[in-house]
Homo-oligomer: A and B are copies of this chain.
Amino acid sequence: MSQDGVDLERSLGYLLKEASSALRAAMEEVLRPLGMTVTHYSCLELLAQRPGLSNSELARGAFVTRQSMNVLLQALERDGYVTRPAAPPAGKALPTRLTPRGRRSLEKASAAVRSVEVRMLAGLSGDDQSEAVRILRSMIQSLRA
């Protein structure tokens, strides 16, 4: 290995990517024994917090395309984790809901993911966490503009 970074360790953009990547890896690690992927979990978690989300809304929330989310939803529906009405109640959007089975499956995954987040925040005070939320929100808003 070469010498460590000069500029890189000071670049917020790089640190952001690094942290996000490490978080995803840690999540994959704890979700794999449960036979679940990160997108899989994200979808269930989104549905638990906001029942009735459409395919497109779930895709945006899980940071994948509508097409990818659609194949995932078809699998989840086939296996009985979620339900969608046969016909759209309005427009074209199909509101999706968790089944009891989906809810049970989510509980285990949620506990696993929560443990990862706890570990991630181990060295941070409550104030630090509030600051982090504020700063990240500011970054997101500025980038969207």
Measuring CB to CB, which residues of chain A are less than 8 angstroms from any residue of chain B?
1-3, 5-13, 15-27, 46, 49-50, 52-53, 57, 61, 63, 113, 116-117, 119-124, 128-129, 131-133, 135-145
Say how many copies of this protein the assembly contains.
2
Question: Do B18 and A23 touch across chains, with their CB atoms under 8 A apart?
Answer: no
Report the nearest B residue to A5, measured CB to CB. Answer: B49
**A135 touches which of B52, B128, B139 (Cβ 8 Å):** B128
Is B17 a contact partner of A53 (Cβ separation < 8 A)? no
Q: Is the CB of A23 within 8 A of B128?
A: no
Quick one: given A124-B135, A135-B124, are A12 and B143 in contact (CB under 8 Å)?
Answer: no
Residues of B within 8 Å of A142, CB to CB, are 119-123
B12 touches A132 (CB 8 A): yes
A23/B13 contact (C-beta < 8 A), A121-B139, A132-B132 known: yes
